[in-house]
Amino acid sequence: MLFHSYTTVHDCARRSLPRGDDFYKEAMADAVRMRSAQFLAQLVNERDWERQRKPYYNVWPSIVPMLTRLNLDLDSSLIQLPLPALCVRFPKEMNPLQFDWKGQSVPIRCILIGDMNEGKGISVLIDIGEVMPGGVPIYTYRNFPRKPGLTVEQSLASLGKKGLFADIGIVIPDDLVTDCIRLCCSLCLLENDPSVISPDVLADDRLKFEESGDEKYIDRARRRGKVGWDVGKHIEVIPHYRRPHMALVWTGHGRTVPKIVPRRGSVVHREAVEKLPSGFGGG
């Protein structure tokens, strides 16, 4: 299955402007002169993402509804990104996250999430494939607040239509924006369960990795700049078995650490989740 990827401002300007951190220094200085805090936050997240070799989660269709329907009634300060910046990628086919715009179906392609305001919030940039003249992407921006005493559900309810370009061009329905951010929060809480999340390796190595579990294939992918994980890839439907679901549970000492874990289905209409070799968190 093929997935969309995120295009940075640097990607668009790569041919004519300085590379790497030099580009971001100039671009961030421009954002400060423009007094655009939103654009500055985007540049900081994109720079951090590139520095980490563009890590990503491939989110497979079967798990999307499980993650968008969870009630996250917990303190928003407990939502911690696994990395300073991360791209959440959706499939080019069978993508459940779509909406109608003037008679055409528009999919959510990917989302870049990153820390902002010294950990007080999460920057969310949603890509639907819309571009300005010259090919620069137009993203839907939202800033997810996280602070003690404010639940995730309250943070989601407060999002509204805030953000640069919120009413320009194609407008994503508010409910779908909320689903996207709820999914991202859920991903941050995922338990390190290899039946749900597993390292993505080079295309030529995937079958060998699944058969052997040899971590040399993960190392090879990392050396070649591929830093990613598959989420929900190995959930498949089996007739006459109950569909499993994701559940929010409290773990750790005193049960103070929230984790989202898979609950296996029962003998009627269950989905089976195949066991895969572990590797998440080790790269």
Nearest to residue 184, comparing CAs of 113, 98, 117, 78? 113
- pTM to 2 decimal places: 0.84
Structural domain including 87 reads 9-189
pLDDT of 134-173, one tens digit each? 778 889 989 899 888 999 999 998 886 555 445 567 889 9
Nearest to residue 42, comparing CAs of 146, 123, 111? 123
Could you tell me if 246 and 261 are in contact, meaning their C-beta atoms sit under 8 angstroms apart? yes
Could you tell me if 125 and 111 are in contact, meaning their C-beta atoms sit under 8 angstroms apart? yes
Residue 253 lies in a domain: no
Residue 14 lies in a domain: yes
Domain count, the chain: 1
- In the numeric block, which tokens belong to residue 119? 């950990």
SS3 270: strand
Q: Which residues, other chains included, contact 53 with Cβ-Cβ below 8 Å and sequence gap of 6+?
A: 225, 227
Which residues in 8-20 are b (16+ Cβ under 10 Å) and which e? bbbebbeeeeeee
Would you give the end-to-end CA distance of the chain in angstroms?
22
pLDDT of 58-93, one tens digit each? 999 989 999 999 999 999 999 999 899 999 999 999
9 vs 271, residue with greater confidence: 9
Instruction: Write 123-126 long-range contacts (CB < 8 A, 24+).
Output: 123/41, 123/42, 123/45, 124/180, 124/181, 124/184, 125/6, 125/42, 125/45, 126/172, 126/177, 126/180
Tell how strand 56-59 and strand 85-89 pair up. parallel
